[in-house]
Amino acid sequence: MEILEVGLKEMRNNPNLTYSYWYVTGICNYECDYCDIFHDEQIQEWETKEKIVEFFNWLGTKKQQKVLLYGGEPTIDPDFPKIIEGLNDYVRVFTNLSKPLDYWKDIIKIRNDMTVSISYHIHKCNDTEFLKKIKFLVEESDVNKVRVKIMGDSRYIQESQDLFSFYKKLYDDKRYECYIDLVFPNTQGDIGAQWKDKDMDWFLALQDFQTLYLKYKDNDGVVKERETSWNEMRATMLPSNHYYYCMAGTNTIFVNSNGDVYPCKSHKEVPLYNVYDDYKECDIPNGMVCNYMGFCCETEIPKKLVCRRKVGEETKNIRNLL
């Protein structure tokens, strides 16, 4: 199978939609050994976070925008309540739900129109407390949506399957979703990588969370199109020996905790600008040719195949040629 085009259905249907990611902090209280995202850093001053809020609120006047808050663990930032109160557009927060129940009750009083995306880390979570908070969010709050993601770890295969089965069946409510996400190797390649083919078969059979579209060429050369999932793409897509024209910048923007603005999470060599700059006079890229297929938020950005070539000396200037 040759991937010709892939992306978030929501973005394809609404080209003006922008997913704006804010890396609130790299600090995380869990520090999972398979995670390369968290790191120690100084919590930013409120002035910087206020500038980022102002930037997103300005961007929201130009495009239809969804602001996604993540880390690390964004609720570790003491100004998190002020952040969600200050943002004008749709907000989704990615959290491990480790803060006490009373904290979440106070958060919902500030803002109940959020989507709360929750990761369940088997070796870290307190089962009883976690379930209490899920029940509060679904049964007692008016949040927009509750999404539970079981972090499937190869060291806890049966526990992963049992937890997914339990939480998947917990509610039959359109405001509630549950899916499972396999933990893959960290940078060192030695944690969470012991998945066998039979485990992948079990995992892929569960992928019914169809948020992506996929256009592909089958082995007979016939071009077809269907829905797919983020995890199916991660498990089956070829690595970075393709060049894709990606709508980064147009459909996504990424802001680091210090206020640096990038078109996506992967291309962070040089920021477009900082939120302290006069960004209203600056341009945001209208898409880019990319040879990196990262399986984080970038998987969702609509992208089309440009060519199938390995990165090498003969293709290093391809971005200038196309």
Is residue 175's pLDDT more than 50? yes
In the predicted model, what is the mean pLDDT of the chain?
Answer: 86
Sheet holding 288-290, edge to edge: 223-228, 212-217, 2-8, 303-308, 242-246, 288-290
In this predicted structure, which of 111-115, 157-161, 179-183 has the lowest mean pLDDT? Answer: 179-183
Q: How confident is the model at residue 294 (pLDDT cuts 50, 70, 90)?
A: low
Q: Residue 198 burial (CB < 10 Å; 0-12/13-18/19+)?
A: exposed
* pLDDT level of residue 153 (50, 70, 90 thresholds): confident
Residue 147 has pLDDT above 80, yes or no: yes
Q: Which of 137-141, 202-206, 316-320 shows the lowest per-residue confidence on average (mean pLDDT)? A: 316-320
Output the pLDDT for position 219.
86
Contacts 24+ apart (CB under 8 A), 74-78: 74/24, 74/25, 75/99, 75/103, 75/107, 76/25, 76/27, 76/28, 76/29, 76/43, 77/24, 77/25, 77/43, 77/44, 77/49, 78/43
Nearest of 153, 201, 193, 142 to residue 30 by alpha carbon:
153
Report how far Cα 151 is from the mean position of its chain's Cα atoms.
Answer: 14
Q: What is the mean pLDDT of residues 160-185?
A: 90
Q: What is the CATH number of domain 16-208+248-288?
A: 3.20.20.70
Mean pLDDT, rounded, for 240-263:
87
pLDDT for 237: 59
CA of residue 249 relative to chain centroid, distance: 16
* Model pLDDT, residue 316: 46
What pLDDT is recorded for position 30? 93
**Mean per-residue pLDDT for 88-105?**
97
Pull the structure tokens for residue 135. Answer: 């029940």
Is 309 in contact with 241 (CB distance < 8 Å)?
yes
Q: Lowest-pLDDT range, 21-25, 127-131, 229-233, 308-312?
A: 308-312
Distance spanning both ends of the chain, measured CA to CA: 24
Contacts made by residues 39-46, CB under 8 angstroms, sequence distance 24+: 39/72, 41/257, 43/76, 43/77, 43/78, 44/77, 44/257, 44/258, 44/259, 46/79, 46/82
The per-residue pLDDT for 306 is: 83
Is the pLDDT assigned to residue 161 strictly greater than 70? Answer: yes
Q: What is the mean pLDDT of residues 308-317?
A: 52
Strands 252-255 and 242-246: unpaired
Residue 34 has pLDDT above 90, yes or no: no
The per-residue pLDDT for 159 is: 93
Task: Report pLDDT for 196.
Answer: 75
Distance of CA 131 to the CA centre of its chain: 23
- Region 17-29: mean pLDDT is 95
Residues 6+ apart with CB under 8 A from 5: 213, 214, 215, 302, 303, 304, 305
Per-residue pLDDT, 57: 97
pLDDT tier at 238, thresholds 50, 70, 90:
very low
pLDDT surpassing 70 at residue 83: yes
**pLDDT at residue 314 is higher than 50:** no
Residue 109: exposed, middle, or buried by beta-carbon count in 10 A (0-12, 13-18, 19+)?
exposed
Q: How far is CA 186 from CA 134, 180, 190, in A?
A: 28, 18, 7
